[in-house]
Amino acid sequence: MADPHTDQQPMIRLENVTKTYPGVDEPAVADLSLDVHAGEIVVLLGPSGCGKTTTMRMINRLIEPTSGRIYIDGADVTNVDPDELRRHIGYVIQQVGLLPHLTVGANIGMVPKALGWDKKRTDDRVTELLALLGLDPPESYRRRYPKQLSGGQQQRVGVARALAADPPVMLMDEPFGALDPIIRDRLQDEFLTLQQQIHKTIVFVTHDIEEALKLGDRIAIFGTGGRIAQFDTPIKLLTEPADEFVASFIGAGSSVRLLGLQHVEELPLQAVDTVEDEQQASQHLDGKRVLLTDGGRPARWLPALADGQVATVRGGQTLYQALDAMLTAHDDLAVVTDEDGRVLGGLSMDTVLRHVPSDEAGGG
């Protein structure tokens, strides 16, 4: 497949970047080169201490590289005033970093204020962002102080603040790392939905493989000493890990993880016989089953299955969800529907199983 990005200038480019902290022999980041395309989420994944935060902070120049070059949208960041640079790069960190003595509204409005926006424009932007991040009603949330919010709400405010001046680039350093698993999962989903609307160029740091696979368009797995072991799409990492280090980092269960990354519409569907009227069903019942539909939507199988359920998945759902629906309905066929719930066809368990790469190809 041709890479649609090859002709395009990357939004972020790291070129042979090295950072050696004073008094430390080993570099924290060593000769790192990495391109991030416009509108892409690139995840930096690796164990604690591998240089992820150092890399992020070099991109917005909270840390100066020892050597190498960093470009944003073609411009060398070392030639830009650091304060000016940071107003055009959103930065979200795990500790959130909201100022406790300022209201939520004032926290979100910090960068617009620094950019000299007038009060009305800033207020409108704060309202828009609070609504966008699900902090409704905005008029109530903007007046609160950070400590009057839950951890998940504070993190939403942190994201809103980073988005305030609509920067093209966002750096997110383990932003959901301190949240409990259910809230984290919800924020990840919201974040993906949001990204479909705002198309930011995002560098996202995590040490959590599940989070990386879920959010990343591409993932850079850091090895030791600030070097990249592999930089690839989630599916490539799972099916073709570059070496033992990557394979062991991804760990067991890559086949199940692949199921969660592939969508039902990527597989061939089979025809499903449907009838809208149960009376007509007898004509079709020559040993095969028929799906009784109601306005094009699945109602039940004829003859009825033991537990009467129809395993149903929507087109955009994953193979994991399709298998889950089949297992729940004790059936080996899932009915695939469109957005409105109308029948598109059937997906058999056999088709799903044949689509999962063998263990050999999966690298264990």
How many Cβ atoms from other residues are within 10 Å of residue 58's Cβ? 25
346 vs 357: CA distance, rounded Å: 21
User: Which residues lie closer than 8 Å to 275 by C-beta, 6 or more apart?
Assistant: 281, 284, 290, 291, 292, 293, 302
Does 146 sit near ligand ADP (CB under 6 A)? Answer: no
3-state secondary structure of 246: helix
Residue nearest to Mg ion (CB): 53
Taking the least distance from each CB to Mg ion, the nearer of 162 and 292 is: 162
Taking the least distance from each CB to ligand ADP, the nearer of 48 and 283 is: 48
From 16-24, 49-57, 73-81, 193-201, give the range in contact with Mg ion by CB under 5 A. Answer: 49-57
Give the one entry of ligand ADP, Mg ion, none that residue 50 binds, where binding means its C-beta sits below a cut-off of 5 to 8 angstroms depending on kind: ligand ADP
Does 49 sit near ligand ADP (CB under 6 A)? Answer: yes
Can you tell me which of 24, 182, 271, 306 binds ligand ADP, judged by CB under 6 A?
Answer: 24
220 vs 234: CA distance, rounded Å: 10
Does 206 sit near ligand ADP (CB under 6 A)? Answer: no
298 vs 333: CA distance, rounded Å: 13
* Residue 156 Cβ vs ligand ADP, minimum distance, rounded to whole Å: 23
Can you tell me which of 32, 50, 172, 323 binds ligand ADP, judged by CB under 6 A?
Answer: 50
Closest Cα to residue 38, out of 67, 15, 63, 5?
5
Does 206 sit near Mg ion (CB under 5 A)? Answer: no
Can you tell me which of 43, 45, 53, 161 binds ligand ADP, judged by CB under 6 A?
Answer: 53
Radius of gyration of the chain (CA): 25
Residues facing 347 on adjacent strands: 334
Residues binding ligand ADP (CB under 6 A): 21, 24, 28, 46, 48-54
Positions touching Mg ion (CB under 5 A) are 52-53
